[in-house]
Amino acid sequence: MMTITAHPTTTQPDSTGAHSVMKKVVILGATSGIALEVQRQLAHRGCELLLVARSPHRLAELQADLMIRGALRVEILSADLANIQQHTAIFDFAQRSFVGFDTVLLSYGSMHSQRDSETSVDTLLEELHVNFVSATALLTWFAYDLERRRTGCLAVITSVAGDRGRRSNYVYGSAKGALSLFVQGLRSRLHPAGVQVITIKPGPVQTSMTDHLQNAASFADPQRVASDIVQALERRSPEVLYTPKIWRYIMTAVEHIPEAIFKRMSF
């Protein structure tokens, strides 16, 4: 009974996006809490989107929502991003059905409770696999393509948790920290090809991933974090985005605490 249509007035780029080079964006992990907000803002700017996530049902809901909110076009692909066997198919689909994409955002991740990762090697390995191993494997495909085309922007959501190993979340942190290092190297490699690589390091954000943590109410608003990310994608800068911005200063301070003191801290 319902029809989904994109209204012409909403597909025109507004003043903020008029000169943007960001038109076709691939989202790897479209159902993550931060990606949901980023996609909305991209839709509002009239972008074309390719959404990749596991649940076909949820993807279909997102497709309808984002089209109504002004996206020029929304393609969806149901795939398990953590499953490396599926990466070829994901990349092929993007190349075939989303020709000429200019921006790739990797936004998936998993956060088990630290305690589970300490008491179960399986959980530990899964955490490292999802957040680091599978992410690097998938990025390799897209990096290769953008490098070859000598264009575009690759943005990866890691975490401030990766800046220093902390008692309360060093397993998640080490996977995200390793991913940050990988992305840093990738940035240097793709620089000569003119491909911009952005490391996005959010502080704690109020999403489904963090609801179980203490003080979740004090975490950052995902809409605000998404605004920072969208702005960085649009400007293709900075190289490393801390969001909310205050986390750049917090992490600078945290990194300067001597190890002998740091090991006694329980946070």
Partner 1 sequence: MSGQSAAVSRKQSVVASPTTQVLSWGRYPKIAHQHIHKPAWNDQVPEILRAAAPGSLLPYGLGRSYGDSCLNAGRELIDCRRLNRILGFDESTGMVRCESGVSFSDIIKVFLPKGWFVPVTPGTRFVTVGGAIANDVHGKNHHRAGTFGAHVRQIGLHRSNDGLVACSANENADMLQATIGGLGLTGVIAWADIQLKRVAGPWIDAETVPFHSLEAFLDLSRESNDRFEYSVAWLDCFASTNLRGIFFRGNHASKTLANNRNQFKAKRGPKLPFAMPAWMLNRHSIRAFNSAYYQIHARRTGTSLVPYDKFFYPLDSIRQWNLLYGKQGFLQYQCVIPEGNVEAVKELIGRMARSGMGSFLGVLKQFGSAPAAGMLSFPRPGITLALDFAMRGERTLKLMQSLDDVVQQSGGALYPAKDARMSPALFEASFPRWRSFVPYIDPKMSSSFWRRVTGGRG
* Identified binder of partner 1 from the candidate list 88, 97, 208, 237, rule CB under 8 A: 208
* Identified binder of partner 1 from the candidate list 85, 122, 192, 214, rule CB under 8 A: 214
Helix, strand or coil, per DSSP, at residue 257: coil
> What kind and span of H or E run contains 197?
strand 196-202
By beta-carbon proximity to partner 1, the closer residue of 147 and 228 is: 228
Closest CA to 36 of 62, 54, 5: 62
* Identified binder of partner 1 from the candidate list 100, 115, 148, 150, rule CB under 8 A: 115
Q: What tokens does 246 get?
A: 């205050």
Distance of CA 263 to the CA centre of its chain: 30
Query: Please, are residues 17 and 24 in contact by the beta-carbon 8 Å criterion?
Result: no
By beta-carbon proximity to partner 1, the closer residue of 13 and 151 is: 13
Per-residue binding string, partner 1, 57-96, x by CB under 8 A, is: xx--xx-xx--xxx--------------------------
* Identified binder of partner 1 from the candidate list 151, 168, 184, 231, rule CB under 8 A: 168
Please choose, out of 93-101, 136-144, 204-212, 239-247, the segment that lies near partner 1 by the rule CB under 8 A.
204-212
Determine if residue 175 is left, alpha or beta; phi over 0 gives left, psi from -120 to 50 gives alpha, anything else beta.
Answer: alpha
Determine if residue 248 is left, alpha or beta; phi over 0 gives left, psi from -120 to 50 gives alpha, anything else beta.
Answer: alpha
221 counts as binding partner 1 under rule CB under 8 A: no
Tell the residue number behind the tokens 């790739």, with chain if given: 104
* Identified binder of partner 1 from the candidate list 22, 25, 36, 104, rule CB under 8 A: 36
218 counts as binding partner 1 under rule CB under 8 A: no
* SS3 readout for 11-44: HCCCHHHCCCCCCEEEEECCCCHHHHHHHHHHHH
- Which residues in this chain contact partner 1 in the complex, by CB under 8 A? 1-5, 7, 9-10, 14, 31, 33, 36, 55, 57-58, 61-62, 64-65, 68-70, 113-115, 118-119, 121, 167-169, 207-208, 211-214, 217, 266-267
